[in-house]
Chain A
Amino acid sequence: DAGVIQSPRHEVTEMGQEVTLRCKPISGHDYLFWYRQTMMRGLELLIYFNNNVPIDDSGMPEDRFSAKMPNASFSTLKIQPSEPRDSAVYFCASSLDPSGSRKQYFGPGTRLTVT
């Protein structure tokens, strides 16, 4: 069975440009998460969805960031306009509830570089 799929794997863009990161969760999973990993701040949750509805977006840094989940098999994280401090690895993860641990399965990540 396919794991969480993220695209692109690498993105290099110039400051001020719009960036869209994409995620396909594991089929049947009803939770989807977006995380950001940087050396300074570590791994932090940005937002998560349950059944396509945003539940907690308290980790979204500012209005330049937005996330959507139009259906159960697709989500996007958009940054507009991008800034150099947005450079990070962005992970998407999914999980199924209820299932004991409700462990999260992570995608391979998108490495974003904003110059």
Chain B
Amino acid sequence: AQKITQTQPGMFVQEKEAVTLDCTYDTSDPSYGLFWYKQPSSGEMIFLIYQGSYDQQNATEGRYSLNFQKARKSANLVISASQLGDSAMYFCAMREGPSEKLTFGTGTRLTIIP
């Protein structure tokens, strides 16, 4: 089974609208961390937001928030008031237990339409 599943290969969203990028994960370890990274066309990987498995509240970082539903094993990224500069690939990733290894999903290509 895939550890990280991103079911949306591509999305088109109108500028200023909110967008939700889906991510589901699979782990049996009670301690894990979930990450979202952005990869613009220039190629670099940019950290956006983190959610720990024991965190009581959903993580927020500016326009980014993580909709963490532990029972459903989902960690969706919500971008509010999308901007043209948000057009990029978005990757969900997970770290399990004491390992520092990140396992990445296949990514979602987000395109913001003016």
Which size class do A's interface residues fall under?
20 to 34
Q: Which of A33, A42, A55, A108 contacts B44 (CB 8 A)?
A: A108
Are B104 and A43 within 8 A (Cβ)? yes
Are B100 and A50 within 8 A (Cβ)? yes
Q: Which of A45, A109, A111 contacts B102 (CB 8 A)?
A: A45
Are B35 and A42 within 8 A (Cβ)? no
Are B102 and A104 within 8 A (Cβ)? yes
Q: Which has the most chain A C-beta neighbours within 10 Å: B33, B52, B100? A: B100
Q: Mark A88-105, 1 if CB is under 8 A from B, else 0.
A: 010101010100111111
Q: Which of B48-68 contact A (CB under 8 A)?
A: 50, 52
B binding-site residues for A, Cβ under 8 Å = 33, 35, 37, 43-47, 50, 52, 91, 95, 99-107
A binding-site residues for B, Cβ under 8 Å = 31, 33, 42-45, 48, 50, 55-56, 89, 91, 93, 95, 97, 100-109, 111
